[in-house]
Amino acid sequence: MDFYKNRIQRFAEEEKTCERQNNRYTWLRLAIIVSAISAGIVLFSVSAWLGAGVALVLLAGFAVILKKHLTNMELQQQKERLKNINQYELNCLDGDFSAYPSGSQYDNAKHYYTSDLDIFGAHSVFRFLNRTTSPSGSDMLADWLSKPANTSEIVARQQAVKELSDMVDFRQEIQSIGLKHKDISKELPGFTEWLHSKTELSDNRKLLCTMRILPFVTLAAITAAVIGAIPSVFVWLLIITHFAISGLTMRKVNYLHQQVSRKVNLSARIPD
């Protein structure tokens, strides 16, 4: 028990470290945005090129921090999964296997031994052994338990178990990856439907039109301000408009980004 308790504590601490880092990244992103706007406004009066250059450098820094933030968020989720895996194992030592499927879908009353030996079900051999995270893995384990194996197969499996018995980190990393993508099989039926679905943003034609045109208008305004054709204040009004639109659509965009990220993972694992 101490083994799993120590691992739970370790991953919980690493998860909290990632959470604290995520908070720092959040505030740093906000500080960069505020600095980009402030520096641009102050420096634009001195030199349009200087103001635009500093703003672009800060925005590039924002992109770097955003990438690191997303990577750290994924790391935090990984630590949480590893913490949960060890908690499941600790529960199993106390006789609680409820975190793992029972394999009841494989139960066949007409089978010549699986029902009599409790191979599948609430308190079954399958549940005690099962650490699979995919339908194919679950099917393979069920198939192994439902059919006698020849001597060479038994020996090969025993050797594999012996080899993996000391590779706790490796096993749990594999299990963590499986848990990360566990819902993919459930999403397959709705994948095509999702591809053709409408969203709040896709139906807002005025907003989409504005978002497409605004960057070109802004670039034209920056050029005009640089040559002195228009006051720089117009450029900053356009930049503020960019941030205003981003603020208003951020929640919806983040939601869509999460959906797309999950679908990308899904499509990458769909066989040709």
Q: What does the pLDDT read at residue 192?
A: 54
pLDDT at 83 over 90: yes
pLDDT band at 272 (very low <50, low <70, confident <90, very high): very low
DSSP annotation string for the chain? -HHHHHHHHHHHHHHHHHHHHHHHHHHHHHHHHHHHHHHHHHHHTT-HHHHHHHHHHHHHHHHHHHHHHHHHHHHHHHHHHHHHHHHHHHHHHTT--TTS---GGG--TTSSSTTTTT-SSTT-HHHHH----SHHHHHHHHHHHHS---HHHHHHHHHHHHHHTT-HHHHHHHHHHHHHTTTHHHHGGGHHHHHT---TTTT-HHHHHHHHHHHHHHHHHHHHHHTTSS-HHHHHHHHHHHHHHHHHHHHHHHHHHHHHHHHHHHHHHS--
Q: Which amino acid is at 137?
A: G
Nearest to 98 by CA among 88, 83, 86, 85: 88
pLDDT band at 35 (very low <50, low <70, confident <90, very high): confident
The residues, ordered by sequence, that sit 6+ positions from 158 with a Cβ below 8 Å of its Cβ are none
Please indicate, yes or no, whether the overall pTM of this predicted structure exceeds 0.75: no
In contact, 45 and 135? CB cutoff 8 Å: no
User: How far is it, in rounded angstroms, from Cα 122 to Cα 148?
Assistant: 22
Report whether 52 contacts 44 (CB < 8 A): yes
Query: In terms of Cα–Cα distance, which of 161, 165, 18, 136 is closest to 81?
Result: 18
Mean pLDDT in residue range 248-254? 63
Of 69-73, 135-139, 207-211, least confident by mean pLDDT is 207-211
Higher pLDDT, 227 or 32: 32
